[in-house]
Structure 1
């Protein structure tokens, strides 16, 4: 399958969901496909990627020290920390792992607090993310009611993933390798990887979801091929159709990689 065939099939999929907003960015070397890549979406848990990047920058000197988790940052939703019993010491690296692998909201809040919202936003601007911002902690519904939210675009998410997938001035090679390890252990596989069981295709990714919102952003590798993919969607009336749309795009990408 050629890259142009991949693009054509993505357009066909998009056309079957006319009532949803869909933003896509796919980068394969010098080839690229964009669709509403600058459209702003509620970021959901994809905004945990810049928190991960910031943690390597600002917390790296104490990454294996015991982390501080203030009681007011402990929230439910995705994750496991609020449901564990006893006093469980976590290192900052553990929190980074929990934040990505099971999308733990308490771990994410603790890391956002430790890094500060200001520094994470400054880092995104430095990378070149024009429309991404963090305005609230996770599960802070009062902030949402006040009009504060976290937002991003497909184009910005690609820029963030490239800090992990390519040599750069933000992360060193050791940090990039560790970030790939964490993203590669992602437990939510019901979107981009959903329609393939090929263990030779490797996904380093982060999903995100809110009511009416489904996202998946990834570095996808197969043999000597590497793609950067961001699929952001919103406007769904149920919790299934958005995931199905992204899974269909993921199937086309898998077919392209193996062709």
Structure 2
């Protein structure tokens, strides 16, 4: 889980939503990926991070400074660490951002199904599965946070890539991506670089599961409401939290019952697009 070092409340929400002990029962382990605190960080100290690590043992901190232009370092750090430290134990890697809502029960079932129905892909060195963003041009407007100069990226289009919100891979694939990335010029937009540019060099296809995702945090909010009130299955398994740290806790605590056959399909004419009215949330 890529996490800004100062997002201690958000990491706490992840642990409240599903503790490590329960993840272990599902054969999963959660690790938060952090970087070094910038000098401008006033709300958390390295001593506090050390205390958090002593209590939970789930932090991995790099020696580069927290900055959105260093996200590629953090992303590579995570893939490399799993490839080296968990190579014998880990069948799969789920990479996600800390502000993303995710249905861990859906993901666990997907991995089980993948092993049974596509065992060749599950163990291959070509597994990249998630939300596919098709080829699009870099942002060339200097005032934009995501401005990319032609010196940084000279081509007219990015290759198709996976959203860094959440995707699934495995150790053999991660090893190839890390090795190739270390031979290539650095590029700071991490998901575009690693699952787009680097992936293309390796000839790895993308598994498209765009139907898992909602871009609207409001829909996730409405899912929680309808799970509580009607036991309606949620149409989406992943999406942004819209700045609401508690939404992941609410979502996971309510969606779990659907995996014990306690939920029903949404009736015709009752889709979220047709019925969701929720307070607007911030955009990622």
Normalising by structure 2, we get a TM-score of 0.25
Greater percentage in strand: 1
Structure with the larger RCO, 1 or 2 (CA within 8 Å, 6+ apart): 1
Normalising by structure 1, we get a TM-score of 0.27
Q: Quick check: which has more Rg, 1 or 2?
A: 2
